[in-house]
Structure 1
Amino acid sequence: MTDQPPPPPPEQPPPYSQPYGQPPGAVPGPYDPRWGYGPPGVPNGVPLQGPPEETTWAIFAYVGNVLIGFFPALIIYLVKKNTSPLTRFHAAQSMNQQLTMLIHVLVVVAVCVPPAIALKEPGFLALLLVPYLELLIAGWTFIILGAVKAGKGQYYRFPTFFCFRMIR
């Protein structure tokens, strides 16, 4: 057995030029995954959206909030967390938003109800109007915004005040 030099490494196409093996001005040939070129007809090689199934599940995570609460988002999160990053992100954000709104309401209840009972003054309960309006206006706005962004296959993070990142 004779010592032969190892074969040379495969040539890589030069950056920002014609693909290897193509004459100048030629239309690029079939898709070659080694060099990262996308399939013909797709700009920049990769489509922005995931499969329609991913976006549908991500939308259902938000729509479920309107119908039942955070349970649909929890189920979608547990089922899809290892298969789809887009669905996992939106399901987690949907749950975080609902849990954050619940925390806001519970904090105001814990602060307002004891003085209202102790002082027999129901005026303290008027402060419950603030988280109710927050839940009504901001909650619906972010659910709709999240569902629209999920339908487009985009990632969008809600402001931290309305959505603590408890579940990632």
Structure 2
Amino acid sequence: MTDQPPPPPPEQPPDGQPPPGQPPPYGQPYGQPPGGYDPRWGYGPPGSPHGVPMQGPSEETTWAIFAYIGNAIIGFLPALIIYLVKKNTSPFTRFHAAQSMNQQLTMLIHIVVVLAVCLPPAILMEAPAFLALLLFPYLELLIGGWTFIILGAVKAGKGQYYRFPTFFCYRMIR
């Protein structure tokens, strides 16, 4: 037996990559999003409920903030215009404009449903006390609506995705 030095260790690949000649884990090629997902057109890859976070302030954050501010001042019309203009160019702006519109539509549905339930008995029984139940969706609109509009605008200004609770914002427009 001769005293030979041990063989050199095999060359280690960079962190996060498989050894040469090995397939990547889970059958996913490196550098490609899962399932061929293109992050420019959607809310984010599967398994990521809020999409990919943005890098710093940009024009997209400004438009997203305007969607919420317009919602607070005028109603859903500014968010609708921003959504239609930016839906194919900016997933971040589209997300926030859609959420702003969804919030307005959800609050409108809450008020219309309560009105549809309370108005007929109030008219038929000549008892306007039934209309007092409209106070609950009105307070919901005032307190919850303003709170989530402000919170959404702040998160949009920071370049973050934030989803409102479903009770206040049912996702009808995506």
- Same fold, TM-score > 0.5, yes or no: yes
- Equivalence for 2:159: 153
Preserved CA contact (<8 Å) 1:108 1:131: yes
In structure 1, the residue matched to 2:15 is: 16
TM-score (norm 1): 0.73
User: Structure 1, unaligned stretches of length 5 or more?
Assistant: 1-12, 18-34, 37-45
Paired residues of 1:105 and 1:128 also in contact (CA < 8 A): yes
> What letter is aligned with 2:147?
T
1:115, distance to aligned residue in structure 2 (A):
0.3
1:88 matched to 2:94? The reply is yes
CA contact (8 A) 2:57 2:157 kept: no
Quick one: distance in 1 between partners of 2:121 and 2:98?
36
The reply on whether 1:142 has 2:141 as its aligned counterpart is: no
- Which of the residues 45, 62, 69 maps onto 1:56? 62
Q: Which runs of 4+ in 1 moved over 4 A?
A: none
Equivalent in 119, 124, 129 of residue 130 of structure 2: 124
Q: What is the aligned partner in structure 1 of residue 108 from structure 2?
A: 102
Percentage of matched positions with identical amino acids:
82
The structure-2 alpha-carbon separation of the partners of 1:47 and 1:167, relative to structure 1 and needing over 3 Å to count, comes to closer
CA deviations on 1:6-48 (whole Å, 9 max, x unpaired) are xxxxxxx93229xxxxxxxxxxxxxxxxx97xxxxxxxxx984
Rounded Cα–Cα distance in structure 2 between residues aligned with 1:80 and 1:152? 19
8 Å CA contact 2:122, 2:129 repeated in 1: yes
Per-residue Cα deviation, 1:31-68 (whole angstroms, up to 9, x for no partner)? xxxx97xxxxxxxxx98435510000000000001111
Residues 56, 158 of structure 2: 8 Å contact kept: no
Conserved? CA contact 1:49–1:152, under 8 Å: no
Name structure 2 gaps, 5 residues minimum. Answer: 1-11, 17-29, 32-51
The alignment status of 1:112 with 2:118, answered yes or no, reads yes
> How far apart in 2 are the matches of 1:141 and 1:116?
31
* Aligned mates of 2:85, 2:126 — CA distance in 1: 48
Which residue in 1 is equivalent to 2:35? none
CA distance in 2, matches of 1:47, 1:130: 36
The 8 Å contact of residues 64 and 96 in structure 2, kept in 1 or not, is answered as yes
Q: TM-score, normalised by structure 2?
A: 0.70
